[in-house]
Structure 1
Amino acid sequence: MGLLSKLLRQTATEPQPPNSSRRSDLLLNEFFDCHFYPYAEATRRRPAIVKYIYDKHLRPNLGQKRLCDLDSKMLDEWVRTHIRKRYKPGTINKHIFLVNRILNVAQNWGMIEHNAYKNCVIKRLPLGDYRQRFLSEGELRTLLDACYRDQHPFLYLFAKLLILTGARSSEARLARWRDFDFQSCIWTVPLSKSGRSRRIVLSSAAIAVLDDIKAQAERLYLPHTVNDYIFINPKFKKPYDSFHLAWDRARQRVGLRDVRIHDLRHTYASLLINKGASIYEVQRLLGHHHVSMTERYAHLMPNTLAERVEIVADILG
């Protein structure tokens, strides 16, 4: 009886396909709010992002249409409005993916006969080559100095932690003190981009930055117990939503407007590669699940292949 009761309770709390009795007049907004979003909460790691994209880019226009009225021409025109607004191709593709996902679920649940997106002319936009920006050592020092001189209480320490660890911005922004093992010099990210936990090896310099972060928290009378976030906004006493405004001030001040926060992670990898670290070592340090994600840095390896082919030649004398 205990197992049966558990299964019944689990079934009751899972998102259920909508009743098909109103499929003819169901608006997209209604389907999203009442059915798709509860499904996303149960299956997506960050459902709040799904809701943000929907509310901003679908709710005001497509959301007012009935599910059964959506056709490929209407969806293509919706994509063209995004292009006219000069959104980046990667951003538009995220919006397209969400629409396709919503309509797939609606079709699987019998709310529509077919997914109109399948007949669209604009399936997705070409992204071109993967954008990589590597900072030179001089640029890196200049940018860190600009962060140091900025009024933001944590920008410099945040940027320095990223370049010393190769961590993603969100991983550092949402880190808690309990995630750090100072004895083993290991930072455990409970949930990384891949959906798994990962371990970051900390250098002595990274440990020193964490000590500086704690000292700054003490100066600002911010909590820093094991369960607290390491970066807390002094005004709201909550973790920062982002560092982008402060970062933009710093990069513009030194004429590096094209440098993104994520480029610190690229630079971390490039510095390792250029100093002789192998692709597989960099893969482990970046937390890439597949080495193919790390191979984008392979071209940075200076003369490595030319040196390797001499190994056998040297053996043969």
Structure 2
Amino acid sequence: MALDDITSDVIADLLAARMAEPKVKKNRRADDNRTTSRSTAEKMLALVRSILRAAHSWEWIDRVPAIQLQENGKPKEDYRWLTRPEAERLYDELADHLRAPYLFALATGWREQNVLRLEWSRVDVARRVAWIPAPHAKGKRAIGAPLNDQAMKVLEMQKGKNKDWVFPNEEGQPYTRGNNHGFKAAQRRAKIQPLRWHDLRHTWASWHVMAGTSLRALMELGGWRSYQSVLRYSHLSPEHLALDAARLPTLGSGAKTVQAMK
């Protein structure tokens, strides 16, 4: 099936067909007539959604059809973000070499490899900006990012460690992964729910929206090419709708209305 032909209806039919299939289980009894569970079927849908999102990021399709995953009958949020107390506890438990890139990721929202492979040649300390070259950006389009106070403090900490790489390892090369066993062990010690390194980007975006950053500004700061990509964070800051909510006039000021509202 062509990507353009995959619609929400097609996906709904796919889910129904998968759930109608016999449950796959080793040593299944002949009289076991159970069918595939919704959670199992949704694992397939999650893969389909990932493929469609990738196709959208490569501009192969104009939009991604809605795929509503559920858990126990409730909509499932597809990302995880840290509260500030959680972020501080995790920082305290991280190995020393992970602390600087961790803080930089929370300050910029950059993806894992963009942080770990940052070169000094792409940092302008005087102007407080840094760049991600097009070949290293997810959308294959160069991204320029302003650096806030937190990011600048991290760069100051890393100054002089290596002439090429901002976050070098002991051999003078960039670290391969941030989302490693040490990162996961630190989460357990900090007593927080599991998260991936990429969830630091979601944390950065969530904190921005809750601080009042508009979705349009967030889209530019994060290097997203689609407004749809930042709508997932809109529920975190309903305050921006306050002026619109106030447009409705107050219901009558007559004596009967006032009395009824008491």
Q: TM-score category by the smaller chain? A: 0.5 to 0.7
**Contact 2:106–2:203 (CA<8 Å) still a contact in 1?**
yes
Partners of 1:284 and 1:196 in 2: how far apart? 12
- The alignment status of 1:172 with 2:107, answered yes or no, reads no
Q: CA deviation at 1:138?
A: 1.1
Larger relative helix fraction = 1
**Contact 1:89–1:127 (CA<8 Å) still a contact in 2?**
no
State the 4+ residue runs in structure 1 displaced beyond 4 angstroms. 88-97, 311-314
Q: Which of 232, 239, 251 is matched with 2:174 structurally? A: 239
Which residue does 1:185 correspond to in 2?
A: 128
Partners of 2:245 and 2:176 in 1: how far apart? 50
SS in 2 for 1:154: helix
- Judging changes above 3 Å, is the alpha-carbon distance between structure 1 residues 140 and 310 closer, same or farther for their aligned structure 2 residues? same
Q: What is the number of residues matched between the two proteins?
A: 189
- The alignment status of 1:277 with 2:224, answered yes or no, reads no
SS in 2 for 1:261: coil
- Judging changes above 3 Å, is the alpha-carbon distance between structure 1 residues 96 and 169 closer, same or farther for their aligned structure 2 residues? closer
1:216-255 → structure 2 map (5 Å cutoff): 217=161, 224-225=162-163, 228-234=164-170, 236-243=171-178, 244-255=180-191
Letter of the 1:209 partner, please give it.
Answer: V
- Write out per-residue CA displacement over residues 39-78 of structure 1, whole angstroms, 9 at most, x where no aligned residue: xxxxxxxxxxxxxxxxxxxxxxxxxxxxxxxxxxxxxxxx
Partners of 2:77 and 2:141 in 1: how far apart? 24
- Judging changes above 3 Å, is the alpha-carbon distance between structure 1 residues 309 and 141 closer, same or farther for their aligned structure 2 residues? same
**Contact 2:82–2:203 (CA<8 Å) still a contact in 1?**
yes
Percent identity of paired positions between Structure 1 and Structure 2 = 26
Which residue does 2:255 correspond to in 1?
A: none
Which fold has the larger relative contact order, with Cα–Cα distance below 8 Å and residues 6 or more apart in sequence? 2
- Judging changes above 3 Å, is the alpha-carbon distance between structure 1 residues 94 and 276 closer, same or farther for their aligned structure 2 residues? closer
TM-score (normalizing by structure 2) = 0.64
SS in 1 for 2:217: helix
1:1-317 → structure 2 map (5 Å cutoff): 89=44, 128=69, 129=76, 131-147=78-94, 150=95, 153-191=96-134, 192-215=137-160, 217=161, 224-225=162-163, 228-234=164-170, 236-243=171-178, 244-311=180-247
TM-score (normalizing by structure 1) = 0.53
Partners of 2:93 and 2:181 in 1: how far apart? 13
Q: Where in structure 2 are there 5+ consecutive unaligned residues? A: 1-23, 25-39, 53-66, 70-75, 251-262
Partners of 2:81 and 2:92 in 1: how far apart? 17
